[in-house]
Each structure stands twice: as structure tokens, then as C-alpha cells.
Amino acid sequence: MIIISDSNTYLFEKIAKKSGIEINQVVSLAPECEKNIPKNCKEIIILLSELIYKKFKLKNFEFDNFDNFFENEFKTINDLLSNLLRNGSVIYFPIIPKHFIYSDKYFSFFYEKHSYDNYLENINQKLYEKYNHFSNIIFLKGIVKLSPDISKIYYRFSSIYDEKNSIKIISQYLAYKESLKIKKKKLIIFDLDNTIWKGIIGDDSINGVRMDLSDPIGAVFNNVQNILLKYKENGFLLAVCSKNDQELALKCLFDHPASLFSRDDIVSYRVNWNAKSQNIKEICKELNISVLDTVFVDDSDYECDEVRENCEGISIFKVPKNIYNYPFELSNNSFFYLGSLNKEDKRRTDMYKDNQKRKDIYNEVIKEKGTKEKWIKSLEIKLSINKITPNSSNKDRIIQLFNRTNQFNLTGNKFNTLLLNEKLIEDNLYFYGSVSDRIGSEGLISVIGCKYDGKNLLVENYILSCRVFGRYIEELMLLPIFDYAISKKSDIYFEFVDTGRNKVSKEFISKLTNNNHLSLKNIVKLQTKFSKLPVEVINNY
Amino acid sequence: MLKKSDINSILIQSINEVLENSEQFNLESCFIGEDSIIESIDIVQIISLVEDKLEEKGFEGFDLLEKTFENNNLKFSDFSDLIEKEINN
């Protein structure tokens, strides 16, 4: 890690080293200081203090000229961030804390007319607004407010980073790194009665269940519905599993005036009297999602136990006994943590629904004794292949795809921004594929990466979303690698690692290769064969 | 009043907390001066920590930093004498 700072960071460095963080270099914040930072630098932390506080100390400091202040005084930091973000390094930026002298100290309960606190909040807000859309900048919550206890260190060391504050920032950095390891879920399957409305539809009738804002308990369930729909917006798929009369339950779910759900929100449902574990397994099979990636929400101890017993590895969220805690617990449970969002997340339910349409077309074509080729042709599939660079704007989605893909995943490798940047910086060849057809867009669905050792080409990563299996995308994503191998007159080796969950990948590679190896002769043959497949390939690499 | 042994104990604790290779030092090691192998920033930190620990024992408001740097050379034992002189005066 490299530290860039406008103040003394000696204590921070010391504590970072004790916490196992390697500090490679400390760079003083100055115009064009980014030139002192190596291009392949992976992590940078920017520790600001005096840049702002020294302005507060000026006799003629003006509160009104905020925009001027930001443009002029922050030019160095703006230039620095703009240049560093393009390099692909991950930048940690603890927000600037309120000062212990230059603060609203007389009356801490309101903003004074010339408020230092408000001024600092505006600076942090402006920086956040300006740079938050970059995937490789992480705004840490930082120290928040400097305590007067820091006075001695502040004056003797010219630094706000004493032991306590350094530990605070380092803990936030380490906690962020831990959060990257959380295995993200994909599907929420929920019960209906006493889970998304109060009451039992079979006993209380549609008019008897409560989910509207006019009564306190109804408001709790209304809030729960809102939270589930927010999760759907963020990329979760929503499905229903309930022991109920199907017609009655779906009528209540979609037509009750207070229900927030529409048919488009629910990707699949099983409303019947079968065991819930059986229904859940069916839904997972239909959506091609593992129970390991699924959260089940129910109010009954019995149902939760039955599902836990029979769907090994599923995550279970039980509705709390104190119903008023339900919205808070649902919105704060780590099962529902998804990290940063991308445009594919927001369209995930639509994409699964589109896939259902494709299956319907497939069934129609097969019924008419058509072939797979005929079906693929009828879909008018376009595959766009692009090279991934450190500046690629969709690195978040690429990382997410690596971390969510298990079945077609050559090695099972998981990535974060840091590891991906490492791959890209090392001049390896990485490509992503995006698919669209006449039904809709599937977005970014595949990544392939290889390195050239001077003799052979080694495919070290190859992933494909389960949504597009069997549409020749797995074959066509190899084309850029084939092109490169042919240009270098080299063979290709696939570095397959059996993870126990990547059988699809294993079968594909074993059919395609001879012991994970493709000779140049075979590469040329396959290239000719694949170029005739009924998919339009748009080559952007 | 603080006994000399208490002052030495505070000093040793501070050395242990600040210096990674604290086992290399004892009261006869050079604290400041040409022969000191301690980084200046660690020196300031040791002084600050001693002041904090003295404050915890009720000896508030001592600025040992200036007094220390009035000397060109000090061993830890000299620094201990300086502390004793300051707080017991």
C-alpha cells in the first residue's frame, strides 16, 4: 500500500505494519505527486488533514466562497484522484473529520451561522458525489470528529493520525476487505401468511389480512414488502413458497389494493400443500440457482426446521417474534448484502423472465420437430466481445460474475478489485462477452483470461453465466484466444481446477480438448467450425 | 512525590510500547544525542507517553519535550533524573 498525505503519518505507518499491512511508500501530497507512484501500484490510501485545516486557521477565511475554495484548494486532490483512478489502483479515502478547534463547539446541537462543521460536511459530500461512481474508490467513514485529546500529538507531530485515530482507519480498511469475502446470495424465497402480510389468508380471507399503512401492524408488513422489493431492485430474485390455495394466495399477492407486489416482481412461485423443501428445490432447479445461494424467509419454526433439514446449506431468515423488529432485522441481515450494484443487477428479474420466454420458444421449436440450431437462429443472438483494460467501466460486474459463477467456472477463482487489477496490470489477455437477442439483453455474461508464457497460451480463467448455457456462447468466447494463439503459432492449455461445483465447465473442457490441451492444428479447425455457428459475433477487441 | 523506581518503571513501559526492538535498550542506553539510534519521532512519542502516564498518576501539565531538548546528550537514566527533578521541584 502507498500512503499519500499532507501530514505526518508515522504513527499510522507503524500501526499499519503491526496489523500486517505492507506500506511500500509514503508520498507527500503536492501537485503532480501521482508521478511518484508506480503504475502497478495496487492500493493507495489518502490521509488528508492540513490541506483543509490550514485554511481554517487563516484570519481572513471566508465561509461564503465554498465553490471557489473547492475548485482552488482541491485542485491538487482533484487532479490526483482523476489520474490515479484511471490507473486502476484501489484508492481508500477516509472522509475528512471535523476539527476539535474549528468546529461548532459553543452549541453542538445546531449549526452556527458560520459553521465549520457544515463546511467540512459539504467538502466530504462534494468529494463523494464527484468520485463515488468509480468502482475503485472506497470512501471510509474515517475518524468523524477529532477529540481534543489529540492536541499534544497534533501540535508535536503536525498530524491528526495518532494511535487511536490510526487504529480506527485501519480497522475500517480491514473490515472493508473482510466484507469482500462475504458470499453473496442470489435468490429470496418467501412465505406469504404472517411473512409479507399479517394473517392467514385461508382463515381471514383477502379482506382480513393486514398489510396497509392504516394500522400499525399492517404498516410493519407494508415496510417488509418495500424492503423485499428494494432487494429485488438491487439484483435479488424474488420467489414465493407457501402452503396455501394458489388462486386465493396469488390474488391477494397481486390484486390486494395494499400489496406492493406485481406479477413482474416474482420470478417463480410454488403455492401448494407440498413440503416447502421440495418446492424450494424445484424453484432452484427451475432458475438454475443453488440452494447455497438462496435465502428462505418464513414465520414458522416448523417450516424453517423442515427446510433447514432438507435443503442443506440454505440460509434461513425467520420472522422475529417481536414483529416491530421485523423491518429492521430484514434490512440489516448480512444474507442480503450485495456490495456495489451495476446495471445487470437492476435488470436481473427481467433477464430471468426473458429466459423463460426463450425456453417457451425452444419448446415450440422442438414441438415442431425443429433443431437446436433452428432455435438459436430464431433468437437472433449477438455476442459482443471486448478486451478488459484497467480502465474498463464494468469491472464491478466482471468481479461480481466471477464471485457468483460456480457451474461454468474453470478454476473457481474469486476476485476483488485488487486481484482483478493485478491480472490486468500484468499484461494478461482478458476479454468479456455481452449477449443480446430479439427477446432482450443478457448483459455481460462471460469472461475469459489467459497468459502467454512465451511458448504456450494458458487459459487461467473462464466463466460463463448459467443463464446462457447451450447457446454456443461457451464456444464463441474462445475466439479471441484462438486468434491470439494462431498469431503466436502456439498451443492452448486450460488450467482446469475441480472445485466440486464446476461440472459443466469440466464437461465442456473435456469434450473440447485432449487432457486440457489444444494443439495449433485443432485450434485452426475449431476456429473455422465455430465461425459457422448461428450467432453474430461482434469483435471489439 | 514519585519514587525513582516508579519513574523508571514508567520510562521502561513507554520504551516497550513505542520501540519495536525495545529489548535492545536499557536505562544506560543513549536516548538523545549523536549516539542515539532512536528515530526522532520515536523520541517525541516516548516523551509524550511518559507525560501521559505521569498525568494518570496526578502529575499534570509537565512539558518534558522542551526540557529534554535543552540537552544535547541524554541517556535514559539522565532522562529519568530530569523527570524526577521536574516533578519533585
Q: Is residue A350 one of the residues assigned to a domain?
A: no
Q: Is residue A59 one of the residues assigned to a domain?
A: yes
| Chain B contact present for A111, CB below 8 A | no
> Which pLDDT does position A427 carry in this prediction?
66
pLDDT at residue A296 is higher than 90: yes
Tell whether A416 and A526 lie within a shared domain.
yes
Q: How confident is the model at residue A501 (pLDDT cuts 50, 70, 90)?
A: confident
The C-alpha cell that represents A64 in the structure block: 461564503
Tell whether A158 and A191 lie within a shared domain.
no
A318, A298 contact by CB (below 8 A) = yes
The domain boundary, picked from A179, A210, A226, lies at A179
A499, A409 contact by CB (below 8 A) = yes
What is the distance between the alpha carbons of residues A79 and A293, in angstroms, rounded to a whole number? 42
pLDDT at residue A367 is higher than 80: no
| Amino acid of residue B89 | N
Q: Is residue A348 one of the residues assigned to a domain?
A: no
pLDDT at residue A369 is higher than 80: no
What is the distance between the alpha carbons of residues A430 and A395, in angstroms, rounded to a whole number? 11
Beta-strand relationship, A382-387 and A90-94: unpaired
Q: Is residue A298 one of the residues assigned to a domain?
A: yes
| Amino acid of residue A211 | M
More confident position, A92 or A132: A92
A439, A379 contact by CB (below 8 A) = yes
For residue B44, which residues of chain A lie inside 8 Å, CB to CB? 156-157
**Cα-based distances in Å from B12 to A113, B31, B47, B58, B79:** 50, 12, 12, 19, 12
pLDDT at residue A50 is higher than 90: no
Work out how many domains chain A is built from and give that number.
3
Q: Is residue A351 one of the residues assigned to a domain?
A: no
- The CATH number for A403's domain is 3.40.630.30
DSSP conformation letters of A406-430 = -TTBSS-----HHHHHHHHHTT-EE
Tell whether A254 and A136 lie within a shared domain.
no
pLDDT at residue A244 is higher than 70: yes
Phi, psi values for residue B20, rounded to 5°: -65, -40
pLDDT at residue A426 is higher than 80: no
Tell whether A258 and A283 lie within a shared domain.
yes
Tell whether A163 and A220 lie within a shared domain.
no
Tell whether A304 and A216 lie within a shared domain.
yes
| From B41, B48, B65, residue closest to A10, measured CB to CB | B41
Percent of chain A with pLDDT over 90: 54
**Cα-based distances in Å from A468 to A90, A443, A472:** 31, 11, 8
Tell whether A218 and A314 lie within a shared domain.
yes
CB contact under 8 A, B48 and A10: no
The C-alpha cell that represents A356 in the structure block: 423463460
Q: Is residue A517 one of the residues assigned to a domain?
A: yes
| Chain B contact present for A155, CB below 8 A | no
What is the distance between the alpha carbons of residues A99 and A160, in angstroms, rounded to a whole number? 9
Q: Which domain holds residue A212?
A: 187-339
Q: In what order do the strands lie in the sheet with A457-464?
A: A517-518, A492-494, A457-464, A441-452, A429-436, A382-387, A536-539
pLDDT at residue A246 is higher than 70: yes
pLDDT at residue A340 is higher than 70: no
The CA-based angle A138-A139-A142, given to 5 degrees, is: 130
What is the distance between the alpha carbons of residues A194 and A201, in angstroms, rounded to a whole number? 9
| Owner of C-alpha cell 505527486 | A33
| Chain A contact present for B64, CB below 8 A | no
| Owner of C-alpha cell 468509480 | A134
> Which pLDDT does position A341 carry in this prediction?
66
The domain boundary, picked from A294, A313, A339, lies at A339
Burial class (CB in 10 A: 0-12, 13-18, 19+), A468: buried
Q: How confident is the model at residue A32 (pLDDT cuts 50, 70, 90)?
A: confident
Tell whether A217 and A113 lie within a shared domain.
no
Tell whether A197 and A300 lie within a shared domain.
yes
- The CATH number for A79's domain is 3.40.50.1110
For residue A156, which residues of chain B lie inside 8 Å, CB to CB? 44, 48, 65
Phi, psi values for residue A18, rounded to 5°: -60, -30
Tell whether A122 and A228 lie within a shared domain.
no
ipTM: 0.76
Please state, as a whole number, how many other Cβ atoms lie within 10 Å of the Cβ of residue A432: 25
Work out how many domains chain B is built from and give that number.
1
CB contact under 8 A, B45 and A11: yes
Provide the whole-model pTM. Answer: 0.70
For residue A8, which residues of chain B lie inside 8 Å, CB to CB? 41
Q: Is residue A96 one of the residues assigned to a domain?
A: yes
The domain boundary, picked from A306, A339, A372, lies at A339
In eight-state DSSP terms, residue A536 is: E
Percent of chain A with pLDDT over 70: 99
Handedness of CA A149, A154, A159, A163 (dihedral sign): negative
> Which pLDDT does position A414 carry in this prediction?
82
Q: Which domain holds residue B73?
A: 4-17+26-87
CB contact under 8 A, A153 and B48: yes
Beta-strand relationship, A294-298 and A315-318: parallel
- The CATH number for A327's domain is 3.40.50.1000
Query: Residue A433: helix, strand or coil by DSSP?
Result: strand
> Which pLDDT does position A259 carry in this prediction?
96
Beta-strand relationship, A429-436 and A441-452: antiparallel
Task: Choose from B18, B38, B48 for mutation: most chain A CBs within 10 A.
Answer: B48
pLDDT at residue A64 is higher than 80: no
Phi, psi values for residue A103, rounded to 5°: -155, 170
Q: Is residue A313 one of the residues assigned to a domain?
A: yes
CB contact under 8 A, B44 and A152: no
pLDDT at residue A397 is higher than 90: no
| Chain B contact present for A153, CB below 8 A | yes
